[in-house]
Each structure stands twice: as structure tokens, then as C-alpha cells.
Homo-oligomer: A and B are copies of this chain.
């Protein structure tokens, strides 16, 4: 990573030495250049390129901000420190010459840098707050300072192991698991750990804490791609739950410039609209907001498959939604003893 940032710096130095106004060439992130790629099964950036040029008066501000951000992240990487979007913004404010109107502008420049370098910001050490967790038989080896070469097995802490910079940058050494089970909620994650679902299903359990942070999507991708583990996603039965699954499977439009986050072969196994009917789950009525969202999803190219359209239609037809915890009405262990085995089999 340090090399990519150094190269970017060298490029700019060379341009200056050649008496050119420095510029950076990168893919356009404008909406009309974001396409859904049916082969890759994720959003990608189209072929249109832009040149951010310091000769152009309207480009000087973002150009300067981007060069400063590249310098700052180069420092992070070489000092082996991590940071967050928010800290980067405040760090910039502390530098007399670099101005940002607000955090939004700073976040935007970090995305530009991702596009220019073709790498997610985690690789240049800018992380979100950790909230998600993982549990199961996976031995990792740390690479963070002070822990190099130390190993940990992810069953060691039965509350689940937090996914932060140390876990994200670790090597996955070995696992006896043969699948990954992803849930959106901490309560269900704790239930699965307690019912020893990792043993019963021979699975690594991942808890996304709502919309999955990118680091967590990266880990799911690695487990699927490098370790050949099939991935099953289990969310609330409502448009928000469905979309948590979809973003893991097909990525999000605003990460269209990145690879290594989507897991197109992951399967959404519930809670489906069909399950609400088949299992007679306790439900809540759809809100106007849920309605609007379901119609948006129906029009989204990622949802064009039959299963998706069918399940979205069922939510709209029954006018109801259900949470993961709704299975508790059949007893706390029903979900592990009955529902998940049935779903994994089908």
C-alpha cells in the first residue's frame, strides 16, 4: 500500500519537474458512470475517466485536498497507525493550509483517493468504528504492531470477537468450518453462539450490526473466495433486512470502484416473506416508508432475479414484516433446531 501512495507522490513530483501543472487521472464517479455488471454481479464504474488538473481553477481545491489526504494516509501506513474518517477530517482542519467545508467534503476526497489508487480506504488504514463481530473455529495470525505472529482462535471469547483493524489485517490460518452464517443482529448472534450453532452447523458466525461495514464485507468475501466457504445470510424479514443481504452479495453503488467486497455467491436464506406465511410468524404492519423502500428495491437492477422479485412481492401482498426474534415464539432454540436446518437444506 505504501508503494501505491509513493507512486502517486512520485507522479506528481515528475509532473512538476517537467514544468507541468500536476494532475491526477481517475475514473468518474458520477451517477451516469455507475453500471451494474451482470458478469461480476456487482456495481462497477464505467469507462469514463476524468482528469483532476491543478491548472483548472475549479480543481485546485479538491486536487490539493487529495494530495494532502494521500500524504496523511502515507504517514498512517508507514507509522502503522490506523484512523477514522472523522479523525482525518479533524487532522486536516488542524493543518493551517488545508480547508474542508465539512466532514462530507473530506469523506468525498477519501473516496476519490480510493478510486485513484483502486484500493479500499481500509488498506490505507482509514477504518469505521468497529461494531461487528465474528465467532467460530478460525485461527488468525495478527500482523498489527506488538502482536505480529501471535495467533488467536475465534472461539476464544464466547461473546464474539470484535472486527476492527487488527482482525481485518490478520491472516486467516486455518478453519475446520465448512460454511459462514451471517446475521444482522447482535441478539441473534448471541443466541447462535449460546446454542453452539458454530458446532451444530460447522459454521463461522458473523454479526454485521445492521448494514455491514466494509471491513466485515471484506472478511466475508475472503472466507468465501480464499477458503471456499459458502455464505448464508439471515436477516429481518423486511426491506431493510433484505438490503443488508443484497449489499453483502452485490455491493453498493458508492463502492462501485472497489473489488473484493462483494460475495455474489452468498445466499439470502431468510427471513423471507414466504417464511412469515409458512411459519406463521408474529408480524408488524408495513409502514409507508417500508412500502416506498420495497418499490425502490423492485426497480433496482440487483433485484431482477425471480427469488428476489417474488419475495419482495410477498411482503407487499401480505403487508407485513417480521423480525429475526419472531421465531422465539416457538421457543428460544427453535431457530437453531428447526428453522436453520430446514433453510440450509433447501
A43 at interface by CB-CB < 8 Å: no
Whether B133 contacts A162 by the Cβ 8 Å rule is yes
**Given A158-B146, A163-B159, are A190 and B127 neighbors across the interface (CB < 8 Å)?**
yes
Name the distance in Å between A145's Cβ and chain B's nearest Cβ. 8
Taken together as a complex, chains A and B put the C-alpha atoms of A191 and B196 apart, in Å, by 33
Are A331 and B94 in contact, CB atoms less than 8 angstroms apart? yes
Give 1 or 0 for each of A228-247: 1 = CB within 8 Å of chain B CB: 00000000000000000000
Provide the residues of chain B in CB contact with A325, threshold 8 Å.
Answer: 84, 86-87, 89-90
- B161 touching A190, Cβ below 8 Å: no
Query: Contact: A194 with B82, CB < 8 Å?
Result: yes
A329 at the interface (CB under 8 A from B): yes
Does residue A330 face the partner (Cβ distance < 8 Å to B)? Answer: yes
Determine if B90 and A328 form an interchain contact, defined as CB atoms under 8 angstroms apart: yes
The answer, yes or no, to whether A152 is at the interface (CB within 8 Å) is: yes
Interface residue SS majority, chain A: mixed
A14 contacts across to B, CB distance below 8 A: none
Q: Is A320 an interface residue (CB 8 A)?
A: no
Interface centre among A81, A162, A191, A323 (most CB of B within 10 A): A162
Stretch from A2-10, A20-28, A164-172, A253-261 forming part of the interface with B: A164-172
Q: Which residue of B lies closest to A76 (CB)?
A: B332
Chain B residue nearest to A79 in the complex (CB): B332
Report A59-110 residues with CB < 8 Å from chain B CB.
Answer: 81-84, 86-87, 89-91, 93-94
* Residue A156 interfacial (CB < 8 Å): yes
* B165 with A157: CB separation less than 8 A: no
B190→A164 contact, CB < 8 A: yes
The CA of A82 and the CA of B328, in the complex, are separated in Å by 13
* Shortest distance between the CB of A327 and any CB in chain B (Å): 8
Task: Say yes or no: A187 contacts B84, CB within 8 Å.
Answer: yes
- Report A138-165 CB contacts with B as 1/0, cut-off 8 Å: 0000101011000010001111111111
**CB 8 Å contact bits of A305-339 with B (1 = contact, 0 = none):** 00000000000000000010111111110000000
**Given A129-B186, A161-B162, 16 more contacts at CB 8 Å?**
A81-B194, A84-B187, A84-B325, A86-B187, A90-B326, A90-B328, A91-B328, A94-B329, A94-B330, A130-B186, A146-B158, A157-B162, A157-B167, A158-B164, A160-B164, A165-B194
Residues of A that sit less than 8 Å from B by CB: 81-84, 86-87, 89-91, 93-94, 127, 129-131, 133, 142, 144, 146-147, 152, 156-167, 185-187, 190-191, 194, 196, 209, 282, 323, 325-332
